Structure 1
Amino acid sequence: GMSLTFEQANLDYARYYAEAFRQAGDTGTADVLDVVYSEEIGHVKHGLVWFERWREPAVTAFEAWRAILQPPLSPARGRGLQFDREGRRRAGLDEDFIRQVEVAGESRGRPPTVRVFNPSCDHRWLHGERHPLPDRARAIEEDLDTIPALLARTDDCVLVRRRPEPAFLHQLARAGCAVPEFVLDGDPLQPPPVPHRHLSGVEPWGWDADAQRRFTPLMERVTETDRPAAGRAAVAEQVNRKSFAVPLLAALLAERADERLSAPSTVGVVCASASDALQALRRRVASMDLPAVVKGDHGASGRTLLRVRSPADLALAQAWIANAFRHQPAVVVEPWLQRCVDLSVVGVVDREGRVASATVTRFLTDARGQYQGAVVGRPWFALPPDVVRFCHGDGSAPRFAAHTLGDAARAAARALHQEGYAGPFGVDALIHRDAGGLRLRPIVEVNARTTMGHVVASLARRLAGGSQGLWLLLRREDIGDPADFARRLTALAPLERAGPAARPCLRSGVLFGNDPASARRVVALMAVGRTPEAILDPLGRAGGDALRERVAALLEPPRPGTHDGL
């Protein structure tokens, strides 16, 4: 541990402080530190010689070194304030070892927060813990398991199925993102093998029964006095229902009485039985209030819903509703709105019911309402002028949309607090058109979990002034081999940074959210530029015109007269 950890770190510290003293005019101290630097190269080399004699040759030098370090020691302790590659090369460390040390992110003393990407919580709330996850959904979950790294601090742990490659971690570090510790988590039936005795918290993407079972042993290590209470899965299952949002929307529309908001008559009806749902649909048919939509109480990304366009669809609706009640406690019947823009406000509700870090984001969906990505930065980017004016109150209330969504977030936070929930949450909203023009629907649904909106809000803080980003989930069928696509795109759009090296801002280029080298089905990335063309052109050149057109279409609101709704 001494030679390859502390004395390796001293290569960085000696060079850094020698330069600092030299710039301050103290050449004597700088000269002494130069001598220390030269001696430390010898010390590291001496330790490396014995380490190579003792270690198992079947594993890499870096993995063998990582395995013998006992917490709180970690590979991150072998790195100082700046990274000196040349000194490490002179000491005999190989290039793979050097690359791994440069991006190693592990706790240096603060108890870490454990994070895990388990978006299948939506599936578990609907079908139960033992229902198998579809193969495609499982593959996507595995591909994207590094996403929580974009929310993490350096001291945190992210659970993954495969350890990311150094090249992926290097681009995170170069973008100014924290590089946390990645802990291999291969057995879903066992508690995660987190090596730390004390933790600051445990934050799965969402709390379901599976997460509570696996993470309960880890909760015992949480050092904070308000460690998570038992029963979080049951609370999350209750507040993540579509029906939870219905009375919140009704109350907010009644309180605001603003014609720029959705009409109170568009608020959905919560139906606790198949007969109630059919009656609600028949009332809409009788009043010619169609199209309508029936939503299952649980579901995500446009799944578990049925659109009813005409009276002829009632027979299909009756069978669909009967089947839905085999799995769902309720359904919601409401009008199918002519969607224009999808918005969300994300934040954290604390244990007093207050909202922290509320941020408005704009997310992008396909024609079926399935999530495709989001705008990073100003949510009004590339919107038609009439929509931008509407969001800013047509000049009379410059923050009309933002203030209204802030009110929605606070209303949701109070309701979540009353149900016993604390933690990350998001409120989906939308702008839609009706005969009177544009309308803001401030609450579509409440997500009591981490969402991609939280990731987008975190990424937005890394943008340079004047730059915008698109956060995209790109499928293999649209880009071909993920690793080849990533190489082409990186060559066309390398990261360009602004600001100090310690906290750079991104001016242009591409940042990957998961490792393209191991992705099987989907690649997550943020493309950055100052104009839509600057973002779209490299995507088209790397992935083809069809990809460029598909992404460009996501930015365009549906044309008036087309029904593309919730």
Structure 2
Amino acid sequence: MAIQLEDFAKQVLFGTSMEEKLSFPREEILDTKRSDPIKTPKQLSRPKHLVLREEGVKAGHPAQSKLIDERERGRLLHFFGNHELLATELMALAILKFPEAPASFRRGLLETLKDEQMHTQLYMHRMKQCGVEFGELPLSDYFWRSVSSMEDPLDYVTRLSLTFEQANLDYSREYGKIFASVGDRSTAGILDKIYRDEIDHVGFGLKWFRRWKAEGKTDWEAFRERLVFPLSPARAKGNFFNREGRSEAGLDASFIKDLEVFSQSRGRTPYVYWFNPDAERFAARNSSEGVDAGTFPVQKDLALLPAFVAKRDDILLLPRMPTSAFLGELKAAGLELPELKTYESEEEVSAPSLDRKLRGLRPWAWSPDSVLFFEENFSKLTRSKKPDTFWNEGIRALHSKAWAAAWAKSLLDHIPHEEWLAPTSAFAKLAENAQGLQRICEGFRSAGCSSLALKAPFGTAANGMRRLEADELIDERLTRWCEQTFEEQGGVLVEPWLDRVFDFSIQLEMGKGGLRALGYTRLLNNARGQFRGIVTNGFCQGLDSELVKFLMQRVQGRPRLYHWYESFVLPELEKELAAAGYEGPLGIDAFVYRSYDGRLMLKPVVEINLRYTMGRIALELGQRNAATSVGFFEVVSKAQIKKRTGQSLSEFCERQTAAYPVKLSEEKKPRIEEGTLALNDPQQAQGFLALYHVRRSFKELAL
């Protein structure tokens, strides 16, 4: 006597007892009767004590100490058992939904279903031995919701075989080792059996996936395209990535590498990041039009930098995808990355319309170009906002160095005077035309300031500053720059060139709850005041005692520097930001200088940058340092490296990283003890390379 495959699948799917769900026929199973495809049932038939719930118990990563307790083991096995039962039911559903699928595919489904029945029984028996009855804890329906909406057999193998069963190549092996380590050989043996079966199941799905996927697509491309949010490749892996098992299942090396470095939110609503370093130029013109792509190589080369601020559940939009090999190096160094997505056209740069709710939009800086870039995604925000929330005349005014200088002078006029603070004469003055520029320069020089700095109100140190040496006249070249700046930005700032001995920045975040200080970073600039790099975890290391005392003298239990900013500067700045409606990152650049009479003085505000800064990147990178290690973050150009070494960027990077390979600490979450790491792909870099050097002591940085 024989039984039809279709009838057996109905017994499993619609059965209301565990006997119906888990008994496998002794009779021959035929596949000669094929009815019309069924629709996915609205509610899964199960015994009452095994009903699924959206708020069902989820398993966290178990502490080894907890699993010494038998009942804790049983709770974990309860979670696993539900997954195996769901896999059994989903395979029965696939048999009934896709009657026209090839006979060999349906026969393979039957064999994997039989394995899943056995896995469920093994877990049920073992959890009972641990004192836990199947069904005594709430059961999550996430697995069912994610797979049961499948529309064709390709959906089935993509979602179940290549996503959830592939993830089990990691989980079954990891937990097997954990159970073995606490002496539970019985459970470890069950997990080893399941691990071996999952290799076969993934291999089965992969065979059919390759047969049915879109022609001309790689396995990875087809896999990514076929998954529908909230499913993503991130769901196809566990806590500890198992390359060996995937290779045994037949996945090729490139797929395995791409999956290993892939990241996407598993539930938390993401922030979306984008690197737009030309923001000040768009801010200057108050328009997204009419600015050439003068720094586009910077934007293209360094587009990955916001990844080191973002969290794993966030999204970073890139003009091009770094190679998997490079992303693997970052991962091996312990740097977790957000989900990386590319935007297509270089001519019309705009964010893709993202298919989910978004917690927030995070460009490098808000300016007209970033408002235009994110135009299609404002409606996706969980807290609805209009574009003028991010960019308006009030926020534009705060971008100006002229505003920062005037605000800093006003601040010093209204707070208690300290002899170690710079006088207001040390701050910039705004010249609105050539005559005013000449008059201000003469005034500073008559007061004893021999060298001067000329700055554009909107602009970075690299493209917005000129130095005028003692008695140097404004030549034809500088005159042209000034005339252009007058025309485009309405003025030129002039300030004394001071004898700087220590540059630093304060990294801040303005939110609904107010302005927060995140940390203080030590900047290294060249002789012309242009950015060289940033020291991490070594704010005062290598400084002479006089300077350390100046910075760190205790006031009300806090270093004087921190106390003064957080007591006087930040509360007043918070008011200005709130009045303009600004929320997001910002940084204050400042420095200590030596006055004409030899005293150390603080110029508390040089610039206020309403954006992410390289200091913020360095601050985040410093958290990846081992406790006693010191780091140095720098950006080098192709021209600098060519002049210094005669090498290309990739050659220079290869020699640096070979000379100083990354070594991680032996912590549960390893951090970098020493080594040099590229932060953007050296094989793709055309003009700029970001490097992070970590050493065990400040002296070893050789700055």
Interval of TM-score (by shorter of Structure 1 and Structure 2): 0.7 to 0.9
CA 1:138/1:17 → structure 2, altered by over 3 Å: closer, same or farther?
Answer: same
Match of 1:511?
A: 677
CA 1:376/1:87 → structure 2, altered by over 3 Å: closer, same or farther?
Answer: same
Match of 2:95?
A: none
Q: Distance in 2 between matches of 1:29 and 1:458?
A: 41
Residues 376 and 470 in structure 1, CA contact (< 8 A), matched pair in contact too = yes
Question: Do structure 1's residue 444 and structure 2's residue 606 form an aligned pair?
Answer: yes
Corresponding residue SS for 1:243? helix
Match of 1:561?
A: none
CA 1:26/1:222 → structure 2, altered by over 3 Å: closer, same or farther?
Answer: same
Q: How much does 1:418 deviate?
A: 1.9
Q: How much does 1:473 deviate?
A: 0.7
Question: Do structure 1's residue 329 and structure 2's residue 496 form an aligned pair?
Answer: no
CA 1:410/1:42 → structure 2, altered by over 3 Å: closer, same or farther?
Answer: same
Residues 114 and 201 in structure 1, CA contact (< 8 A), matched pair in contact too = yes
Question: Do structure 1's residue 180 and structure 2's residue 180 form an aligned pair?
Answer: no
* Worse overlay, 17-26 or 5-14: 17-26
Match of 1:376?
A: 536
Give the alignment of 1:9-24 within 5 angstroms.
9-24=167-182
CA 1:284/1:481 → structure 2, altered by over 3 Å: closer, same or farther?
Answer: closer
Q: Distance in 1 between matches of 2:583 and 2:556?
A: 36
* Matching residue within 481, 497, 504 for 2:648: 481
* Worse overlay, 329-338 or 521-530: 329-338
**Which amino acid in 2 is paired with 1:219?**
F
Match of 1:564?
A: none
- State the Cα deviation string for residues 49-84 of structure 1 (Å, max 9, x = none): 112222345333212211211111111111012111
* Matching residue within 396, 413, 422 for 2:583: 422
Q: Distance in 2 between matches of 1:186 and 1:271?
A: 43
Give the alignment of 1:316-465 within 5 angstroms.
321-352=482-513, 354-393=514-553, 399-406=559-566, 407-436=568-597, 437-465=599-627
Q: Distance in 1 between matches of 2:282 and 2:385?
A: 26
Q: How much does 1:198 deviate?
A: 1.0
Match of 1:472?
A: 634
- State the Cα deviation string for residues 220-264 of structure 1 (Å, max 9, x = none): 101136687545254442211011212332234331411112123
Larger Rg: 2
Residues 467 and 528 in structure 2, CA contact (< 8 A), matched pair in contact too = no
Residues 678 and 691 in structure 2, CA contact (< 8 A), matched pair in contact too = yes
Q: Distance in 2 between matches of 1:314 and 1:518?
A: 40
**Which amino acid in 2 is paired with 1:487?**
E
CA 1:234/1:251 → structure 2, altered by over 3 Å: closer, same or farther?
Answer: closer
Match of 2:397?
A: 238
Match of 1:73?
A: 231
**Which amino acid in 2 is paired with 1:202?**
L
Match of 1:526?
A: 692
Match of 2:658?
A: 491
Q: How much does 1:462 deviate?
A: 1.4
* Worse overlay, 483-492 or 108-117: 483-492
Match of 1:146?
A: 304
Residues 365 and 371 in structure 1, CA contact (< 8 A), matched pair in contact too = yes
Match of 1:559?
A: none
Corresponding residue SS for 1:510? strand
Match of 2:451?
A: 291
* Worse overlay, 454-463 or 480-489: 480-489
CA 1:489/1:279 → structure 2, altered by over 3 Å: closer, same or farther?
Answer: closer
Q: Distance in 2 between matches of 1:319 and 1:44?
A: 67
Match of 2:219?
A: 61
Residues 358 and 409 in structure 1, CA contact (< 8 A), matched pair in contact too = no
CA 1:384/1:395 → structure 2, altered by over 3 Å: closer, same or farther?
Answer: farther
Match of 1:212?
A: 371
Give % identity.
Answer: 32
Q: How much does 1:346 deviate?
A: 0.7
Q: Distance in 2 between matches of 1:533 and 1:378?
A: 11
Residues 473 and 524 in structure 1, CA contact (< 8 A), matched pair in contact too = yes
CA 1:228/1:464 → structure 2, altered by over 3 Å: closer, same or farther?
Answer: farther
Corresponding residue SS for 2:694? strand
**Which amino acid in 2 is paired with 1:205?**
W
Give the aligned length: 534
Q: Distance in 1 between matches of 2:612 and 2:677?
A: 21
Q: How much does 1:299 deviate?
A: 1.3
**Which amino acid in 2 is paired with 1:238?**
A
* Worse overlay, 302-311 or 370-379: 302-311
Match of 2:108?
A: none
Q: How much does 1:496 deviate?
A: 1.3
Corresponding residue SS for 2:442? helix
- State the Cα deviation string for residues 8-65 of structure 1 (Å, max 9, x = none): 0011111122222223333222222211111111110001111222234533321221
Residues 271 and 359 in structure 2, CA contact (< 8 A), matched pair in contact too = yes
- State the Cα deviation string for residues 112-147 of structure 1 (Å, max 9, x = none): 211011011022223553334354x21121000011
Q: Distance in 2 between matches of 1:500 and 1:269?
A: 52
Residues 343 and 349 in structure 2, CA contact (< 8 A), matched pair in contact too = no
- State the Cα deviation string for residues 308-366 of structure 1 (Å, max 9, x = none): 445562676776544421011333332221222211101101135x2224311112222
**Which amino acid in 1 is paired with 2:665?**
A
Q: Which stretches in structure 2 are left out of the alignment for 5+ residues?
A: 1-157
Q: Distance in 1 between matches of 2:608 and 2:434?
A: 24
Question: Do structure 1's residue 107 and structure 2's residue 265 form an aligned pair?
Answer: yes
Q: Which stretches in structure 1 are left out of the alignment for 5+ residues?
A: 537-551, 553-566
**Which amino acid in 1 is paired with 2:430?**
V
Tell me which of the two structures has the higher relative contact order, counting C-alpha pairs closer than 8 angstroms and 6 or more residues apart. 1
Q: CA RMSD in A?
A: 2.5
Corresponding residue SS for 1:325? helix
Residues 118 and 204 in structure 1, CA contact (< 8 A), matched pair in contact too = yes
Match of 1:156?
A: 314
Corresponding residue SS for 2:487? coil
* Matching residue within 244, 248, 253 for 2:407: 248
Match of 1:563?
A: none
Residues 175 and 497 in structure 1, CA contact (< 8 A), matched pair in contact too = yes
Q: Distance in 2 between matches of 1:204 and 1:309?
A: 37
Q: How much does 1:294 deviate?
A: 3.0
Q: Distance in 2 between matches of 1:186 and 1:429?
A: 39
Residues 281 and 333 in structure 1, CA contact (< 8 A), matched pair in contact too = yes
Residues 270 and 360 in structure 2, CA contact (< 8 A), matched pair in contact too = yes
Corresponding residue SS for 1:247? helix
Q: How much does 1:187 deviate?
A: 2.2
**Which amino acid in 2 is paired with 1:46?**
F
Residues 280 and 460 in structure 2, CA contact (< 8 A), matched pair in contact too = yes
Residues 274 and 362 in structure 2, CA contact (< 8 A), matched pair in contact too = yes
Residues 466 and 530 in structure 1, CA contact (< 8 A), matched pair in contact too = yes
Corresponding residue SS for 2:172? helix
Q: Distance in 2 between matches of 1:185 and 1:52?
A: 27
Match of 1:196?
A: 355
Give the alignment of 1:28-67 within 5 angstroms.
28-56=186-214, 58-67=216-225
